[in-house]
Amino acid sequence: MNILLKSAKIVCPDNKELHLKKRDILIKNGIIEKIGTSVEGPANAKVMDHKNLHVSLGWFDSGVSFGEPGYEERETISNGLIVAGKSGFTDILLYPSTHPVPDTSSDVVFLKERGLNKATIIHPMGTLTKNSDGTDLAELFDMKNAGAVAFYDFKKQVANPNLLKIALLYAQNFGGLIFSFPQDGNIKGTGVAHEGKISTILGMKGIPALAEELQVARDLFVLEYTGGKLHIPTISTAGSVKLIANAKKKGLDVSCSVAVHNLFLSDESLQGFDTHYKVSPPLREKSDCKSLIKGVSDGTIDFVTSDHIPVDIEHKRVEFDNAMDGSIGLESTFGCLNTIFGLDETVDILTKGRSRFGLEEPVLKEGAKACLTLFNPDEDYTFGLEDVLSTSKNSMFLGSSLKGKAIGVINNDQITIK
């Protein structure tokens, strides 16, 4: 496939020669052949000359759910990858949130094969324990060899600290990365929203910040004892930011992420009892949002994830207490981040960190594989249903004012464009 990008403004803060320069880019058979001020392509080249076309290295999301296998009515892998590509993502880490869960090497192989020959590449996680039930470790080594990039019991705490200890010690033998969800289930109890002024006014059962911070503190103590590599996904409180910052100062090998909605929205959004805003961990107070944003900017928080979780209408159109947690976020992530951080920082957030998961970092130069995202960062709009590409429509960003839209991706000698 031959593709010619015309007058594309390159956003690549690490490349001073090309950063914010307008260039033509010729791609032949998946390889960047020429970058120049005026490039002629072959007659059969697909010419991309979108208005205000910008290009960067391909974007990476460290936490996405689809439904397949088991919950295809929520989202299939095939359509999910199209959604990810049209949202600007060339690489996604796939949560082990299916039924059955991927706890064997054959499950990991199945997921990878379902994502073959797509512009957006799946990097599956395996579960940490068999059946994700928190009792016995799953086939970590075999799953790693099959292509699993990390091990995670999706949205479940590692209740047994000895299990976490054993997992961290064992995974060091093959460089495995262990995820530990930051929420103590006993303290959370039956809570459905952040414990604070808003939950009190609304009469909702609260989930205190303590439920998260106690779990984070425990996990960091275990990591300090064992060594190994730990990732704490989707932190949500100011206290967690401080705990992880201190752990990094000690030299512990810990990384963490935050869901984009915990940066963009606070628990004030819950006042209409709209179940689209029910997520785990919950939306916190505005002061937490500010601390999380600062943590992203100063590098304490390593990744911002869409935490994209499709949920069918039957599990959302119920009472708030009974609704399933989760919001889709792939389509709105760029607009949210660009609104908060501005263009350069947003692109840096979206392109960094693949190496943490043992993945190759792309480069933007002649002779390199084309792993590119196309976008328009200047479009102001209100995010509406017409912007939702997913099968499930459970987006908490509906009605939000955003800036910037993805156009699509060129990657793996494939193209996905809106």
Exposure on the CB side of residue 88, measured as CA atoms within 13 A? 29
| DSSP label of 400 | -
Return the bridge partners of 48, or none.
5
Q: What is the DSSP string of 268-295?
A: GGGGG--GGG--SSPP--HHHHHHHHHH
Return the bridge partners of 230, or none.
178, 254
d(CA 67, CA 74): 5
* β-strand pairing of 193-194 with 206-207: parallel
Specify the 3-state DSSP secondary structure of 304: strand
State the amino acid at position 358 in one-letter form.
Answer: G
Count helices and strands in the chain by DSSP H and E runs: 12, 17
What's the CA angle centered on 372, arms 262 and 51, to 5 degrees? 90
Structure tokens at 111: 């997921």
What's the CA angle centered on 156, arms 137 and 187, to 5 degrees? 125
User: How many beta carbons lie within 10 A of that of residue 73, not counting itself?
Assistant: 14
> Which residues are annotated as catalytic?
307
Structure tokens at 270: 């819950």
d(CA 79, CA 320): 28
- Nearest-CA neighbor of 395 among 323, 318, 317, 330? 330
- Nearest-CA neighbor of 61 among 352, 409, 407, 413? 352
- Nearest-CA neighbor of 20 among 343, 335, 402? 343
d(CA 101, CA 212): 25
Q: What distance lies between CA 179 and its chain's CA centroid?
A: 14
The values of phi and psi at residue 61, to 5°, are: -120, 125
Direct distance between the N- and C-terminal alpha carbons of the chain, in angstroms, rounded to an integer: 18
Residue with tokens 């206290």: 239
Q: Are 295 and 248 in contact (CB under 8 A)?
A: no
State the amino acid at position 272 in one-letter form.
Answer: G
